[in-house]
Amino acid sequence: MYIATVARTMLVLPVVSIVAGHALDPAAPWLELFGRWFVFWGVGVRLTLAGVRQFFQPAFTAREIFHMTSNEALPLVRELGVANVATGVVGLLSLAASSFTLPAAIAPAIFFGAAGFRHMAERDRSRNETVAMASDLFLFVALAVFVIGTTA
């Protein structure tokens, strides 16, 4: 379930949305479509879903991603969940308020980059941690391309 959700929100749904957006409005700039849909799906949907799961099921993140076996970290994972929901909501709202798109890309780009590079340092990554690393780095690059392209 985790891998399927990550694949859908990080690649499949953004690409389908970009192609559909271009089909509906061929004059729409590619970079705008790219940013809109990667922010909505990759930041909005993914972080909101992850945050809800981290809040209500913190043991999954603690054990499957961070390899923690004690329950001491669960309150911290719940707080990470709240931060992810807060960030995700801004990403979701970017669909209705296009002025949110760039700001909703900047902070998560930093977060995904830092998280992805941190995962790279782990020597014995689990499959879920490898998926988290790859998806974090992919979204870091996608968001960075949008931010740089928009602000250049």
Name residue 137's amino acid.
L
pTM of the model: 0.92
Q: How far apart are CA 95 and CA 92, in angstroms?
A: 6
| Domain that includes residue 13, residue range | 2-151
Total domains in the chain come to 1
* The pLDDT of residue 129 is above 90: no
Question: Where does the pLDDT of residue 144 fall: very low under 50, low under 70, confident under 90, or very high at 90 and above?
Answer: very high
What is the pLDDT averaged over residues 67-83? 93
Q: How far apart are CA 120 and CA 61, in angstroms?
A: 17
Least confident interval from 69-73, 76-80, 86-90, 112-116: 69-73
